[in-house]
């Protein structure tokens, strides 16, 4: 079969103030194929795709669709050409219904949209693709997984045959991802073409026919997926250096108990079952205790209880042998407990403040950075530059607002601040969530280094692979309880998987 | 005076008073729904009141006066639109500036563009023509409701405009786009909607309604020109937008309550009913009650729905290539 190109991007360049997001990028998508677009956070994948759908205008270069040169100046132009995109952040209006979201902005929509007819068509489409969505539900009342299905339904309704999927499974639980992947597969089996962006290598290998790799805004090569034998080769192309898929770890020498959680419960009046249900856990110096579990089973409540962000209703939390139950966050910070929060943008940084200010946020009140409550800017400058260099945070200057950094560099900023101020205890919640291979590796190595230096670490993660690679012990949480705690060498994927699903140890 | 009579009179006064307030509130509902907060309503209303009065005084044409008032309101809000949408300046600052500018300019012009005979002053003049109540036979004899059928054409127009605005906002594709733009501008843009075009349109529309509301005061309710004659009505309109939960269908409820309490307070004073409460306290009653109602409504909405109905992107400038 002769391969017909449906999308050709030729020498696309896009500049933002101070940054070249894409430089001379060429890309070809053939009919009926899936092209995986790989690259680190901030490599320019999303920018490139946003030019194809008309959200951004390229500064230079040309776009061809089905052999014809096109000028895409708005999303309506790309829609008319059959290009549809699922964005990394959902493009849904929260207080509108599913149907309203799906027809929003359609150029040939009637002045008074005939919702009865639209709903019927949506239900039919939904049945055809196993997307069980009520078209009259309000988006805000749907789960993340359901919202993602609305995005799919939108593409189907609009008849897109060139699909751009920008990390469609990044925010989904493993179960939801599986469901979604089934649906995507069905869409692809109908001859649609797709460009697929993902950090999850197994998805890339499963779906794609070819991969193209971007690095720092430039294309650095394409490969047939079938010829990929070693993931390391792809990772090396993405990052520009060798990536370790297993990490060097020092000898396991646990010391004193640093954090002791005794019979802790959190009753929550709005839910039927307690957020935490009689939790007992110890973390020793020089040890990493991992918490496995599907998100929402109490992991976050536990980390918030330790860091003083949430009150416990019974039990006690001892830090360095002192009862620190229900103390304020500053009292716990003063015990030199570091915290990498689950939601890095909302709880980890202040987006509108500079990288330097974000880095000094834990220490600004100490004599190290201020004197008699007056902040010493000169000291902060030196301090911030030191951390930026040590943790290789990629930022134009330390005065750049933190929100302009890529996800990986935001996480490095938080990591730098927390590790610098850490004296013995670190609570890390989903530290590598949504990060690319390079940044993930940095995060994991930093955590292991802390452990080798004698820090007691509690690591909450959804990725079993990460837990197995990094931790010394793994505890599994389900519905606010700890199902079991075991040494990592005994923690097989099957065993953890069953415990995560709520199967008791005795029942296995 | 029978009780029935009193209530009908009160209702008539309420409708007269509430008309300009309703125009201003409705306009601001459209503006805010698109994500633009315009605190310039007070200044814009004053400009509408002044220009409407001046034009009608010199041309004896109510239609022309009304049109110029609408135009003045639209132009004034165009300044706000340019500053906040194109230049992406802070909406609160710009809105406050518009109110100060509008108030000052209207007062200044009111002393400069009048007839020579009156010392170039517009204050204290009578209009050659004004809007009058038109009563619809039979219907105006209904008990209570009769008051609704003995109003000016400005009020009759609202009987049409309010339901149409509700229909437009919730049943048409233009309203769908408007709601999306104020709630999730990035999403709207990704769906091919021109966010800034929509915001310009509804900011200007809001200003036009404010201008019309101002003219309804100077050409019908008072009818005259006085410095600062809106007396804070523009600010009440902004508060009533919250009361309406940004729904054109509920605008009239708030304006009727506020207009009603204000009229009641006048009526009590006029009727000479001796009260232990001093008149000054009666005068603040409408503002006080509005405040209390708003606080109560906000708390209630928060408790019931967990969030407040305000458009999520209200007050935030938009550009597609910014995080």
Which DSSP helix (H) or strand (E) runs through A181? Answer: helix A174-189
pLDDT tens, residue by residue, A359-386: 999 989 888 899 888 999 999 999 999 9
Q: Which helix (H) or strand (E) holds A213?
A: strand A210-215
Q: Which among B177, B191, B321 has the least Cβ separation from residue A91?
A: B191
Give the residue extent of every domain in chain A: 5-239, 252-336+459-508
Considering only CB atoms, which chain A residues are within 8 Å of B197? none
Q: Do B191 and A105 touch (CB under 8 A)?
A: yes
Confidence at residue A173, expressed as pLDDT on a 0 to 100 scale: 67
CB–CB of B193 and A105 under 8 A? yes
Task: Give B318→chain A minimum CA distance, Å.
Answer: 13
How close A261 gets to chain B, by Cα (Å)? 33
Q: Which domain holds residue B312?
A: 3-322
Question: Would the CB atoms of B193 and A104 count as touching at under 8 Å?
Answer: yes
In this complex, do B323 and A105 lie within 8 Å of one another by their Cβ atoms? no
Confidence of residue A211 (pLDDT cuts 50, 70, 90): very high
Contact B191 A95 (CB under 8 A): no
Inter-chain residue contact A91 with B187, CB threshold 8 Å:
yes
Which of A51-65, A266-280, A302-316 has the lowest average pLDDT?
A266-280
Question: Which of A255, A283, A415 has its CA nearest to residue A338?
Answer: A415
What average pLDDT does this structure show over A470-483? 92
Question: With pLDDT > 90 as the criterion, what percentage of chain A qualifies?
Answer: 51
Q: What is the pLDDT of residue A174?
A: 67
* Percentage helix, strand, coil for chain A under 3-state DSSP, each rounded to 5: 35, 25, 40
Residues of A in contact with B312 (CB under 8 A): 94-95
* Closest residue in chain A to residue B187, using alpha carbons only: A91
Which of the two residues, A433 and B35, has the higher pLDDT score?
A: B35
Buried b (16+ CB within 10 A) or exposed e, B137-157: eeebeeeeebbbbbbbebbbe
Q: How many CB pairs under 8 A join A and B?
A: 75
- The minimum CA-CA distance between B201 and chain A, rounded to whole Å, is 17
Q: CB B183 to CB A94 under 8 A? A: yes
Mean pLDDT rounded to a whole number for chain A: 88
CB contact under 8 A, A74 and B194: yes
Distance from CA of A263 to the nearest CA of B (A): 32
Q: Which CATH architecture has domain A5-239?
A: 3-Layer(aba) Sandwich (3.40)
Give the model's confidence band at A496: pLDDT under 50 very low, under 70 low, under 90 confident, else very high: confident
* Cα nearest neighbour of A88 on chain B: B187
User: Taking CB atoms and an 8 Å limit, are B176 and A113 in contact across chains?
Assistant: yes
Residue A313 CB coordination number (10 Å) = 14
Given A16, A91, A94, which is nearest B190 (Cβ)? Answer: A91
Cα A135 to Cα A120: distance, rounded to the nearest angstrom: 9
**In what order do the strands lie in the sheet containing A276-284?**
A276-284, A257-266, A314-319, A322-323
Angstrom distance (rounded) from CA A336 to CA A417: 12
Strand order in the sheet with A83-86: A83-86, A162-166, A193-197, A34-38, A210-215, A218-224
Instruction: Tell me the shortest Cα–Cα distance from B236 to chain A, in angstroms.
Output: 27
Inform me whether the pLDDT recorded for A1 exceeds 70.
no
**Buried-exposed string A409-435: b where 16+ CB fall within 10 A, e elsewhere:** bbbbbbbbbbbbbbebbbbbbbbbbbb
pLDDT digits (tens, 9 = 90+) for A232-243: 777 788 877 776
Residues of B in contact with A90 (CB under 8 A): 187
Q: What is residue B323's predicted lDDT score, i.e. its pLDDT?
A: 44
For residue A305, pLDDT beyond 50: yes
Judge: A105–B171 Cβ closer than 8 Å, yes or no. no
Which one is predicted more confidently, A239 or A266? A266
Q: Which of A92, A106, A112 sits opposite B172 (nearest CB)?
A: A112
- Nearest CB among B187, B192, B321 relative to A16 is that of B321
Most confident of A169-178, A198-207, B57-66: B57-66
Q: Which long-range contacts (CB under 8 A, 24 or more apart) does A121-129 make?
A: A121/A157, A122/A98, A122/A153, A122/A157, A125/A153, A125/A156, A125/A157, A126/A153, A129/A153, A129/A156, A129/A183, A129/A186, A129/A187
For an interface test with B, the pick among A72, A77, A93, A107 (most B C-beta atoms closer than 10 Å) comes out as A93
The answer to whether residue A141 scores a pLDDT higher than 70 is yes
- Where do runs of H (alpha helix) occur along A190-226? 201-207
Dihedral pair phi/psi, residue A424, rounded to 5°: 105, -20
Within 10 Å of residue A477's Cβ, how many Cβ atoms?
Answer: 26
According to DSSP, residue A60 is labeled E
Chain A, nearest residue to B173 by Cα: A111
Identify which of B187, B194, B323 has the shortest CB distance to residue A93. B187
Q: A89 to chain B: which residues are within 8 Å by CB?
A: 186
Distance from CA of A471 to the nearest CA of B (A): 35
The distance from CA B270 to its chain's CA centroid, rounded to whole angstroms, is 26
Q: Kindly list the distances between the CA atom of residue A489 and the CA atoms of A252, A391, A467, A486, in Å, as whole numbers in the listed order.
A: 12, 30, 11, 8
What mean pLDDT comes out for the span A141-169?
89
Q: How far apart are CA A98 and CA A141, in angstroms?
A: 10
Phi/psi region, residue B68 (left: phi>0; alpha: psi -120 to 50; beta: rest), is alpha
A403/B323 touch (CB, cutoff 8 Å), yes or no: yes
Please list the residues that pair with A128 across neighbouring strands. Answer: none
- In DSSP terms, which residues pair with A289 in a beta bridge? A458, A473
Common-topology check for domains A5-239 and A252-336+459-508: yes
Residue A199 in this model has a pLDDT that exceeds 90: no
Q: Do A93 and B179 touch (CB under 8 A)?
A: yes
- Which of the two residues, B70 and A221, has the higher pLDDT score? B70
pLDDT above 70 covers a percentage of chain A that reads 96
Give the per-residue pLDDT at A103: 95
d(CA B252, CA B241): 10
Neighbours of A242 (CB within 10 A): 9
Predicted ipTM? Answer: 0.86
In which band, very low, low, confident or very high, does the pLDDT at A343 lie, cut at 50, 70 and 90? confident
CB A125 within 8 A of CB A54: no
Contact in structure between B233 and B20 (CB atoms under 8 Å): yes
CATH number of residue B288's parent domain: 1.10.3470
Which value, to the nearest 10 degrees, does the dihedral of the CA atoms of residues A96, A97, A102, A103 take?
Answer: -70
Phi, psi of A51 (to 5 degrees): -75, -35
Tell which of B34, B173, B309 to mutate to test the A interface (max A CBs under 10 Å).
B173
By the 8 A CB rule, do A139 and A101 touch? yes
Smallest Cα distance from A77 to chain B, Å = 8
Q: How confident is the model over A428-456, as a mean pLDDT? A: 88
Tell me the H-state helices in A190-283. 201-207, 231-239
- A395-406 pLDDT, tens digit each: 889 999 998 887
pLDDT tens, position by position, A38-94: 887 778 898 999 999 999 999 999 999 999 999 998 898 999 999 999 988 889 999
* For range A113-141, the mean pLDDT: 92
- Write out B180-210 in H/E/C secondary structure: HHHHCHHHHHHCCCCHHHHHHHHHHHHHHHH
Helix residue ranges, H only, B90-194: 91-110, 153-171, 173-183, 185-190
Dihedral in degrees, nearest 10, Cα atoms A496, A497, A500, A503:
-90
Given an 8 Å threshold on Cβ–Cβ distance, is B173 in contact with A107? no
Q: Tell me the shortest Cα–Cα distance from B252 to chain A, in angstroms.
A: 23
Chain A residues near residue B179 by CB distance under 8 angstroms: 93, 95-96
Using pLDDT thresholds of 50, 70 and 90, give the confidence band for residue A16: confident
pLDDT confidence of A198, banded at 50, 70, 90?
A: confident
The mean pLDDT values, 10 residues at a time, for chain B of 323 residues are: 75 91 97 97 97 96 97 97 95 97 96 91 91 89 85 95 97 96 94 95 98 96 92 93 90 90 81 71 82 81 70 86 55
CB-CB under 8 Å, B320 with A53: no
A481-487, strands of its sheet edge to edge: A337-340, A425-429, A456-460, A287-292, A473-478, A481-487
Which of B173, B180, B189 is facing A113, going by the closest CB pair?
B173
Nearest to A56 among B173, B192, B321 (CB): B321
Q: Which residue of A has its CA nearest to B182?
A: A93
Q: How far apart are CA A410 and CA A393, in angstroms?
A: 8
Confidence grade of residue A202 (pLDDT, cut at 50, 70, 90) = confident
Check if the beta carbon of residue A224 is closer than 8 Å to that of residue A210.
Answer: yes
Strands (E), chain B: 134-135, 150-151
- Smallest Cβ distance to B192: which of A76, A87, A92? A76
DSSP secondary structure code for residue A172 in this structure: S
- Beta pairing class for A322-323 and A314-319: antiparallel
CA distance, residue B75 to nearest chain A CA (Å): 28
Q: Whole-angstrom Cα distance, residue B212 to residue B22?
A: 10
Which pLDDT band, with edges at 50, 70 and 90, does A183 fall under?
confident
For A98, the enclosing helix (H) or strand (E) is: helix A98-103
Contacts of A72 in chain B (CB under 8 A): none
**Residue A38 has what DSSP assignment?**
E
Domain boundaries A252-336+459-508, corresponding CATH code: 3.40.50.300
What is the number of domains present in chain B? 1
Cβ(A158)–Cβ(A84) under 8 Å?
Answer: yes
Q: Compute, in degrees rounded to 10, the torsion defined by CA atoms A205, A207, A213, A216.
A: -110
Query: Rounded mean pLDDT of A250-267?
Result: 91
- A91·B174 Cβ contact <8 A: no
Asked if B176 and A104 come within 8 Å (Cβ–Cβ), the reply is yes
CA dihedral in degrees (B246, B249, B253, B259; nearest 10)?
80
CA-based nearest distance A53→chain B, Å: 8
Alpha carbon distance A255, A399 (integer Å):
40
Q: How much is the pLDDT for B155?
A: 95
Interface of A with B (CB under 8 A): 16, 53-56, 74-76, 79, 85, 87, 89-96, 100, 103-107, 109-113, 351, 403-404
- Which residue is closest to B180 within chain A, CA to CA? A93
Is the CA virtual torsion B107, B109, B111, B115 positive or negative? negative
* pLDDT of B267: 79
Q: A105 and B186 in contact by Cβ < 8 A?
A: no
């Amino acid at each position: 079969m002769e391969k017909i190109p449906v999308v050709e991007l030729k020498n696309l360049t896009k500049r933002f103030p101070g940054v070249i997001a894409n430089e001379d990028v060429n890309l070809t998508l053939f009919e009926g194929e899936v092209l995986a677009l790989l690259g680190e956070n901030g490599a320019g994948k999303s920018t490139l795709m946003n030019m194809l759908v008309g959200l951004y205008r390229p500064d230079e270069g040309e776009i061809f669709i089905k052999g014809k040169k096109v000028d895409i100046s708005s999303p309506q132009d790309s829609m008319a050409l059959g290009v549809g995109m699922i964005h990394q952040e959902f493009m849904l209006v929260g207080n509108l219904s599913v149907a309203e979201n799906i027809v929003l902005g359609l150029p040939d929509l009637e002045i008074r949209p005939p919702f009865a007819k639209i709903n019927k068509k949506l239900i039919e489409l939904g049945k055809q693709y196993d997307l069980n969505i009520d078209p009259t539900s309000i988006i805000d009342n749907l789960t993340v997984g359901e919202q993602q299905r609305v995005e799919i339904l939108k593409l189907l309704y609009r008849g897109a045959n060139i699909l751009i999927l920008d990390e469609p499974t990044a925010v989904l639980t493993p179960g939801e991802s599986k469901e979604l992947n089934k649906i995507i597969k069905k869409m692809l089996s109908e001859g649609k073409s797709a460009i697929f962006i993902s950090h999850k290598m197994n998805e890339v290998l499963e779906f794609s026919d070819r991969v193209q790799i971007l690095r720092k805004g430039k294309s650095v090569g394409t490969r047939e997926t079938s010829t990929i034998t070693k993931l390391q080769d792809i990772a090396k192309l993405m990052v520009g250096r060798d990536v370790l898929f297993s990490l060097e770890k020092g000898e396991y020498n646990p010391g004193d108990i640093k954090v002791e959680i005794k019979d802790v419960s959190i009753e929550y009046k709005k839910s039927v079952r307690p957020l935490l249900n009689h939790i007992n856990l110890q973390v020793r110096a020089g040890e990493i205790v991992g918490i496995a579990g599907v998100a929402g089973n109490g992991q976050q409540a536990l980390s918030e209880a330790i860091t003083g962000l949430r009150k416990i209703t019974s039990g006690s939390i001892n830090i360095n042998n002192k009862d620190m139950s229900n103390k304020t966050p500053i009292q716990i910070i003063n015990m030199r407990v570091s915290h990498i929060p689950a939601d890095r943008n909302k709880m980890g940084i202040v987006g509108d403040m500079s990288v330097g200010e974000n880095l000094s946020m834990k220490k600004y009140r100490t004599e190290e950075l201020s004197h008699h409550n007056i902040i010493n800017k000169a000291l902060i400058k030196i301090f911030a530059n030191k951390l930026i260099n040590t943790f290789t945070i990629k930022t134009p200057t330390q005065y750049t607002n933190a929100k302009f950094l890529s996800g990986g560099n935001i996480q490095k900023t938080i990591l730098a601040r927390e590790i610098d101020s850490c004296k013995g205890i670190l609570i890390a919640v989903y530290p590598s969530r949504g990060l690319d291979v390079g940044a993930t590796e940095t995060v994991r190595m930093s955590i292991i280094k802390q452990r080798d230096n004698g820090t007691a670490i509690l690591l909450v993660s959804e990725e079993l692979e990460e837990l197995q690679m990094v931790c010394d012990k793994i505890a599994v949480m389900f519905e606010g309880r700890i199902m079991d705690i075991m040494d990592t060498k005994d923690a097989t994927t099957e065993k953890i998987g069953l415990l995560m699903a709520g199967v008791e140890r005795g029942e296995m | 005076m029978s009780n029935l009579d009193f209530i009908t009179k009160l209702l008539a006064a309420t409708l007269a008073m509430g008309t300009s307030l309703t125009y201003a509130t409705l306009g601001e509902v459209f503006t805010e729904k698109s994500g633009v907060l315009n605190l310039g309503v007070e200044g814009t209303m004053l400009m509408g009141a002044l220009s409407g009065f001046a034009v009608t005084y010199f041309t004896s044409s109510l239609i022309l006066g009304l049109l110029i008032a609408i135009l003045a309101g639209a132009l004034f809000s165009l300044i706000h639109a340019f500053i906040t949408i194109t230049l992406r300046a802070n909406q609160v600052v710009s809105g406050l500036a518009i109110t100060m500018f509008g108030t000052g300019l209207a007062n200044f012009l009111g002393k400069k563009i009048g007839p020579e005979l009156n010392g170039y002053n517009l204050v204290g003049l009578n209009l050659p023509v004004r809007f009058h109540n038109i009563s619809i036979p039979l219907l105006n004899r209904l008990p209570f409701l009769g008051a609704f059928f003995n109003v000016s054409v400005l009020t009759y127009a609202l009987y049409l405009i309010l339901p149409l605005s509700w229909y437009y906002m919730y049943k048409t594709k233009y309203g769908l786009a408007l709601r999306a733009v104020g709630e999730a501008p990035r999403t709207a843009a990704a769906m091919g909607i021109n966010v800034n075009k929509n915001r310009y349109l509804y900011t200007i529309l809001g200003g036009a309604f404010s201008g019309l509301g101002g003219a309804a005061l100077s050409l019908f309710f008072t009818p005259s020109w006085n410095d600062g004659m809106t007396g804070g009505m523009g600010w009440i309109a902004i508060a009533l937008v919250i009361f309406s939960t940004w729904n054109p269908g509920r605008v009239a409820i708030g304006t009727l309550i506020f207009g009603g309490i204000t009229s009641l307070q006048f009526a009590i004073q006029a009727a000479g009913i001796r009260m232990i409460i001093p008149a000054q306290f009666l005068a603040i009653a409408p503002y006080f009650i509005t405040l209390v109602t708003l606080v109560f409504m906000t708390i209630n909405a928060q408790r019931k729905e967990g969030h407040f109905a305000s458009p999520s992107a209200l007050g935030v400038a938009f550009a597609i290539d910014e995080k």
